[in-house]
Each structure stands twice: as C-alpha cells, then as structure tokens.
Amino acid sequence: MAYQLYRNTTLGNSLQESLDELIQGSLNTYRFCDNVWTFVLNDVEFREVTELIKVDKVKIVACDGKNTGSNTAE
Amino acid sequence: MDQNNSLPPYAQGLASPQGAMTPGIPIFSPMMPYGTGLTPQPVQSTSSLSILEEQQRQQQQQQQQQQQQQQQQQQQQAAQQSTSQQATQGTSGQTPQLFHSQTLTTAPLPGTTPLYPSPMTPMTPITPATPASESSGIVPQLQNIVSTVNLGCKLDLKTIALRARNAEYNPKRFAAVIMRIREPRTTALIFSSGKMVCTGAKSEEQSRLAARKYARVVQKLGFPAKFLDFKIQNMVGSCDVKFPIRLEGLVLTHQQFSSYEPELFPGLIYRMIKPRIVLLIFVSGKVVLTGAKVRAEIYEAFENIYPILKGFRKTT
C-alpha cells in the first residue's frame, strides 16, 4: 500500500524543483491548469546584447504550441 | 533471549519481588501507570485548522514528553537505588552489579520499546547477550515522511488549481492537484475525493503541520475541509557508517534477507524482518532505511544492522 503511494508521488513530480527556484528568490508563484503555465517572477533582469531591463514583477503565461509557443509578458 | 535461564541460582530468589520497579519497561512499573496524572493528549481531530493552534499543540506535546522522560529517569534512579541494596545483601558476585550498571547506561532512545521484555528482577541484563558491545553512536537522519489525511469533503480540483498558488493540475496525466508550500518544504497531492498525500517533510511534526497548512489553503478556497485520520505512511532515513562494506560477503551470509545485483542497482537491498524495514546498503558505507511507520523502527533497524556491517568492513 505504501509502495502505491510512492508510485503516485513520483508520477506527480514531487521533486521540489519548483521550490528550489522559490528558494533562489526569483519565482513567486507558478500554476499549471488546462495546459497553460502561469509564472510570477520578482526582481527580474531581461538582458539583451544592447539593453538591460529590470522589473519588479513579471507574469509569464505560456501555452503549448504546435510550431511556436506563445509567450506574453506583462 | 533466555534471560530467565541465565539467572544464577542465588539470584532466582529475587526473580519476582513484590512490587519491584522494572526500569526496563516503565509502562508496566507500578510507579508509572499508563494513565498518569499528566495532562492527557489533546484530541487529535480538532475542528480548527489554525496553524497557530497546531504549533502550540506540538510544543505542548514536546514539553509533556520531556516531563515524562524526566520522571522516568527519576524513577529509574530511585528503583536502582532500592534494588542495589537488595543486590548487595543477597549476592556476593560482581556480575549482578555489572549488569546493574548496564541498565543505568543503556537508557532507551525516546520513542523506542526495549527489544527484550525485562524480567522482574533488575539483576538480569536488559541489554542483549553481549554487554561488551556498545551502541553505534550513529543516529540515522530522517529524510522524507509520507503521510495521508482525509479532508472529508469532495473537492473541485479545477477551482483549486486556478485559485491556489503553486499548484499544478494536468488531469490527462494525473488525476490530482500537485501543490507545494515553502515552510515546511513539502508537496501535496490533493484528490477530488478529498483525500490528500503529503510528502517531503523531515519530521513527523513537520508533516502534520504541512498537511494542516494544505488543508487550510483548501478551506480558504471555500471548501468545508476537515482534518480526519492523519496517518504517517512511510518514513525514510539515512546515515553513514564511515567505513566501506563488502556487499558480496554480506549477500552470501544473509542471502535470505539480501538481494544484490550490481548490474541492476549498486546497492544491496536488505529486507529486515523485525522490524519490517528495507535497507539499501552501499559500498561507501552509506545506508538508506525505509518502510517505517514510526521513528523507532528506523533506529532499531540501524542498531540491528550496524554490528553486521562491522563484520563486513572492507580492510583494504
């Protein structure tokens, strides 16, 4: 019975990966529902070759795509 | 195991003194009846899911346990003082006093039950037949606790996934919401039946506290969540014996308990019968223990395996 519980947890990805990101301080929250990922990040640096943008809060909404995934950042 | 047979003849007269203290099992001692005057344990299923109350309850339990331990130690000392008088009167040998001092030093770990039931006399050894062997001095550390609880109401998983933070719900892959909290760092699987699995905690109390926090999250989303039948299902511990081990030798002598297939898995899988614990033993000397329902089983299993491992220490 205990082993069945273990199998369920490995299926459910209880690997604390998301929490490790939380501990590093960047990821505030995450959500996955209806195949849509929603992340809220804090204190983010967007770095391009020429430009550097610093933001207090970023919300990323990501869906699965056939060819390209669609990303919106507010 | 046959401690009564090993009693020397002069000590058998002391085998069943009336009203003697038995430091081995405090529960059966007349000085320590099962229901003491201490505050009884609080009711397990409280209606409130308040985290503050849960933490206070845990602190109270710890204080009670400390008080009980102090009382047990005082009674053991009192018992041994009174029985040491009997020992000096009735016997001439040094042996009873040797065993006597053994009972003073080998206090059971908190939460353990003695491996051998103690006879009525304090003269016979309470420790197993080799009084010269000491405990390993190594304490396995708990790494993971898996527990379950019933929230007592049907849940709408989509609502929970959309409104709660740090939740995943992919019904095509797995029919539960996977939620995580930071403190204690745990993961919960929440099912539509209202049942929940909580994994990742490092102690029993943390597991219970985390489960209560998840229940509170569900409650705040509007579901009439309760906290029924919390039970720890599995505990995992690990430790290091600090010397390399000859796994090949171990599997040869303990083949009814061991399975070792280095091409499949580098560790030896030792299935201990009593307590029913599975140990993964590695060449490096690291040991993983799993399958326990209570902490004492982990400690007991390690104390059982340690002398065996010492016998298979690699000398090169």
pLDDT above 50 for A6: no
Give the percent of chain B with pLDDT over 70.
Answer: 68
pLDDT (0 to 100) of residue B16: 46
Task: Report yes or no: A10 at the B interface, CB cutoff 8 Å.
Answer: no
Evaluate whether ipTM surpasses 0.90: no
Cβ distance of B166 and A30 shorter than 8 Å: yes
User: What is the Cα–Cα distance from B94 to B116, expressed in whole angstroms?
Assistant: 23
Region B142-170: mean pLDDT is: 96
- Confidence tier at A3 by pLDDT (50, 70, 90): very low
CATH of residue B203:
3.30.310.10
Tokens (6 digits) for A26: 């960047």
pLDDT (0 to 100) of residue B254: 96
Task: Report yes or no: B86 at the A interface, CB cutoff 8 Å.
Answer: no
Residue whose C-alpha is closest to residue B57's, from B298, B230, B202, B222: B230
Q: Identify all chain A residues contacting B168, using CB atoms and an 8 Å cutoff.
A: 13, 30-33
Cβ distance of A2 and B166 shorter than 8 Å: no
Least reliable range by pLDDT among A22-36, A42-56, B115-129, B212-226 = B115-129
What's B121's DSSP letter? -
User: Chain A: nearest CA to B287, how far in angstroms?
Assistant: 20
Query: Are B227 and B264 contained in the same domain?
Result: no
Q: Classify residue A35 by burial, with Cβ atoms within 10 Å: 0-12, 13-18, 19+.
A: exposed
More confident residue, B163 or B12: B163
- Confidence tier at A31 by pLDDT (50, 70, 90): very high
User: What is the Cα–Cα distance from A58 to A61, expressed in whole angstroms?
Assistant: 10
B25: left (phi over 0), alpha (psi -120 to 50) or beta: beta
pLDDT above 70 for B131: no
Examine residue B115 and state whether it is found in any structural domain, yes or no: no
User: What is the Cα–Cα distance from B226 to B214, expressed in whole angstroms?
Assistant: 11
CB B120 within 8 A of CB B23: no
Least reliable range by pLDDT among B61-65, B145-149, B296-300 = B61-65
Examine residue A72 and state whether it is found in any structural domain, yes or no: no
Examine residue B116 and state whether it is found in any structural domain, yes or no: no
φ and ψ at residue B120, rounded to 5 degrees: -70, -20
pLDDT above 60 for B269: yes
For residue B179, the enclosing domain spans 145-232
Q: How many contacts does A have with B, using Cβ atoms within 8 A?
A: 70
Examine residue B114 and state whether it is found in any structural domain, yes or no: no
Cβ distance of A12 and B158 shorter than 8 Å: no
Examine residue B38 and state whether it is found in any structural domain, yes or no: no
User: What is the Cα–Cα distance from B292 to B201, expressed in whole angstroms?
Assistant: 14
Query: Are B305 and B276 contained in the same domain?
Result: yes
**Residue-wise pLDDT tens digits, B212-268:** 999 999 999 999 999 999 999 999 999 999 999 999 999 999 999 999 999 999 999
- Confidence tier at B141 by pLDDT (50, 70, 90): very high
pLDDT (0 to 100) of residue B27: 43
Query: Are B217 and B255 contained in the same domain?
Result: no
pLDDT (0 to 100) of residue A71: 53
Examine residue B101 and state whether it is found in any structural domain, yes or no: no
Examine residue A74 and state whether it is found in any structural domain, yes or no: no
Tokens (6 digits) for B31: 């000085």
Query: Are B210 and B155 contained in the same domain?
Result: yes
Examine residue B42 and state whether it is found in any structural domain, yes or no: no
**Residue-wise pLDDT tens digits, B54-91:** 888 988 988 998 898 888 888 878 776 765 555 454 44
Residue at B266: amino acid letter: P
Query: Are B197 and B258 contained in the same domain?
Result: no
CB B67 within 8 A of CB B6: no
**Residue of B165, B178, B291 lying closest to A12 (CB–CB):** B178
Task: Report yes or no: A42 at the B interface, CB cutoff 8 Å.
Answer: no
Examine residue A70 and state whether it is found in any structural domain, yes or no: no
Q: Cα B40 to the chain's mean position, in Å?
A: 21
User: Chain A: nearest CA to B178, how far in angstroms?
Assistant: 7
Count how many domains chain A has: 1
Examine residue A73 and state whether it is found in any structural domain, yes or no: no
Tokens (6 digits) for B178: 């996977």
Examine residue A38 and state whether it is found in any structural domain, yes or no: yes
Examine residue B251 and state whether it is found in any structural domain, yes or no: yes
More confident residue, A25 or B228: B228
pLDDT (0 to 100) of residue A22: 66
CB B13 within 8 A of CB B123: no
User: Chain A: nearest CA to B148, how far in angstroms?
Assistant: 9
Cβ distance of A31 and B165 shorter than 8 Å: yes
Examine residue B111 and state whether it is found in any structural domain, yes or no: no
Region A1-29: mean pLDDT is: 59
Examine residue A68 and state whether it is found in any structural domain, yes or no: no
Residue whose C-alpha is closest to residue B213's, from B290, B147, B291, B162: B147
**Residue of B166, B180, B199 lying closest to A9 (CB–CB):** B199
Query: Are B215 and B293 contained in the same domain?
Result: no
> Which of A1, A6, A61 to mutate to test binding with chain B, by most B CBs within 10 Å of its CB?
A6
Question: Half-sphere exposure (CA, 13 Å, Cβ side) for B85?
Answer: 6
Count how many domains chain B has: 2
Q: Identify all chain B residues contacting A14, using CB atoms and an 8 Å cutoff.
A: 178, 187, 189, 199-200
CB B15 within 8 A of CB B119: yes
Q: Classify residue B153 by burial, with Cβ atoms within 10 Å: 0-12, 13-18, 19+.
A: middle
Task: Report yes or no: B182 at the A interface, CB cutoff 8 Å.
Answer: yes
More confident residue, A72 or B274: B274
CATH of residue A18:
2.30.18.10
Cβ distance of A2 and B146 shorter than 8 Å: yes
CB B235 within 8 A of CB B251: no
**Residue-wise pLDDT tens digits, B302-315:** 999 999 999 999 99
Query: Are B211 and B252 contained in the same domain?
Result: no
pTM for this one? 0.68
Instruction: Identify how many contiguous H helices and E strands chain A contains and give both numbers.
Output: 2, 4
For residue A35, the enclosing domain spans 2-63
Cβ distance of A12 and B189 shorter than 8 Å: yes
Domain end (from B232, B263, B291): B232
Instruction: Identify how many contiguous H helices and E strands chain B contains and give both numbers.
Output: 7, 10
Residue whose C-alpha is closest to residue B259's, from B249, B271, B275, B274: B271
pLDDT (0 to 100) of residue B132: 52
**Residue-wise pLDDT tens digits, B168-194:** 999 999 999 999 999 999 999 999 999
State how far the alpha carbon of B216 is from the alpha carbons of A18, B10, B83, in Å.
Answer: 21, 64, 53
> Which of B158, B163, B183, B187 to mutate to test binding with chain A, by most A CBs within 10 Å of its CB?
B187
Rg over alpha carbons for chain A, rounded to the nearest Å, is 16
Domain end (from B170, B204, B232): B232
pLDDT above 80 for B94: no
What average pLDDT does chain B have?
A: 80
